[in-house]
Amino acid sequence: MVFFKAPPDWQRPHPRVTSEGVFWRRRRFMTSLIGAGVGLAAASAGGCQRSTTMDADLARTLGEPLLGVSRNRAFADAGREPTLQQYASSYNNFYEFGGSKNIWASAQALPVDPWRLEVTGLVKNPTTYDLDDLTRRFDLEERIYRFRCVEAWAMVVPWIGFPMRALMAAVEPTAAAKYVRFTSFYDSAVTPGPNLGFARNLPWPYTEGLTVDEMANELAFFAVGVYGRTLPKQHGAPIRMVVPWKYGFKGAKSIVKIEFVAEQPATFWNTLTPNEYKFEANVEPDVPHPRWSQKKERLVGESTALFSWEEQPTVIYNGYGEWVAGLYG
């Protein structure tokens, strides 16, 4: 599926992101590669055209190989080259761990083992999953999605996970369920962000929400991996939301609770600044943020320079109108 016009000449061919035909094996850590920290960003992900190096400390934060995961052909081409992992995994928003983009080191304090994800509320089968339940019960696949932050930076990210609607089929929301609320891990003893001045008064824990129909859309995804490996903590290990037609803040990280509810739930940014961060938060170039235009976006790590900030036009629904426009007719 190609959503966009053919890439211009300066774009290189898309790398294969994970090798197919090998087996899913958790807990196998490629210590030697990581120790060397050589070319790991792309090499571990199946061989990118560019050779690059990654800071060895950053390389140590990457997850364990997720083998035997096939790419979903419908999402094999996002119309842009995937962002190199050295950029995507070191330029993050995760306010629980600080207010800058450089939180990958402090995010390593996130405790992920054991992990429990409670699914509750207006469902026939409330269930609490541990991570093994999730990865055994739901078939994992890889999808290369465009990612657009409300701050106007953009990436292309190869996620591994499963469609949210597979989880809905398991828990069976009742007819009364109209919205879904997602809650991130929060413990002020281990997440320094909330103790910092700027974040002390934010409405922790981080929460996000979707309508039930949005959650049932084919695109809505739970990621447990990225770039061929389990999710690094800075990306929201061990499981996070990915909603590619919406601004990135809708994708709550490190989720511990999913509640099916009747009314639109309060959410983190929308509670804080409702005129800046709407509940719906679809990518819409003609709807400016009160403090900046959304007509253009800047690609993180597009060139071999750290951040080239090459500007591209923003596309309605981030290019996914074919899948989601019907939700908003």
Residues that bind ligand MTE (CB under 6 A): 92-96, 149, 184, 206, 235-236, 248-249, 251-254
CB 112 within 8 A of CB 233: yes
Q: What is the dihedral of CA 4, 7, 12, 18, to 10 degrees?
A: 10
Which residue's CB is nearer to ligand MTE, number 94 or number 260? Answer: 94
User: In terms of CB distance, is 140 or 223 closer to ligand MTE?
Assistant: 223
Identity of the residue, 82 or 236, whose beta carbon is nearer to ligand MTE in the bound complex? 236
Tokens describing residue 176: 């009364």
Q: How far is the CB of 60 from ligand MTE (least distance, A)?
A: 18
In angstroms, give the least distance from the CB of 93 to ligand MTE. Answer: 4
Q: Token digits for 59? A: 């390389």
Q: Which of 94/279 has CB closer to ligand MTE?
A: 94
What is the Cα–Cα distance from 270 to 208, expressed in whole angstroms?
Answer: 9
Report the nearest approach of ligand MTE to the CB of residue 124 (Å). 28
Please, what is the minimum distance in Å from the beta carbon of residue 254 to ligand MTE? 6
Residues 157 and 41: beta-carbon distance below 8 Å: no
Contacts of residue 80, defined as CB under 8 A and 6 or more positions apart, other chains included, come to 4, 7, 11, 146, 156, 299
CB of 170 to ligand MTE, least distance (A): 24
Minimum Å gap between C-beta 313 and ligand MTE is: 19
**Strand segments (E) across the chain:** 70-71, 116-121, 127-130, 141-148, 153-163, 179-184, 207-211, 221-226, 229-230, 240-242, 255-261, 296-299, 310-313
The C-alpha atoms of residue 111 and residue 167 are separated, in whole angstroms, by: 24
Q: Which of 96, 269, 109, 106 is nearest to 196 (CA)?
A: 96
Angle in degrees, CA 175, 181, 183, rounded to 5: 150
User: For ligand MTE, which is the closer residue by CB, 34 or 243?
Assistant: 243
CB closer to ligand MTE out of 75 and 122: 75
Between 203 and 288, whose beta carbon lies closer to ligand MTE?
A: 203
CB of residue 111 vs ligand MTE: minimum separation in angstroms?
Answer: 14
Query: How far apart are CB 22 and ligand MTE at their closest, in Å?
Result: 25
Q: Exposed (0-12), middle (13-18) or buried (19+): which is 80, by Cβ within 10 Å?
A: buried
Considering the complex, state which of residue 182 and residue 260 has its C-beta at the smaller distance from ligand MTE: 182
The phi-psi region of residue 37 (left if phi > 0; otherwise alpha if psi is between -120 and 50; otherwise beta) is left
User: Are 102 and 90 contacting, i.e. CB atoms less than 8 angstroms apart?
Assistant: yes
Cis peptide bond N-terminal to 232, omega within 30: no
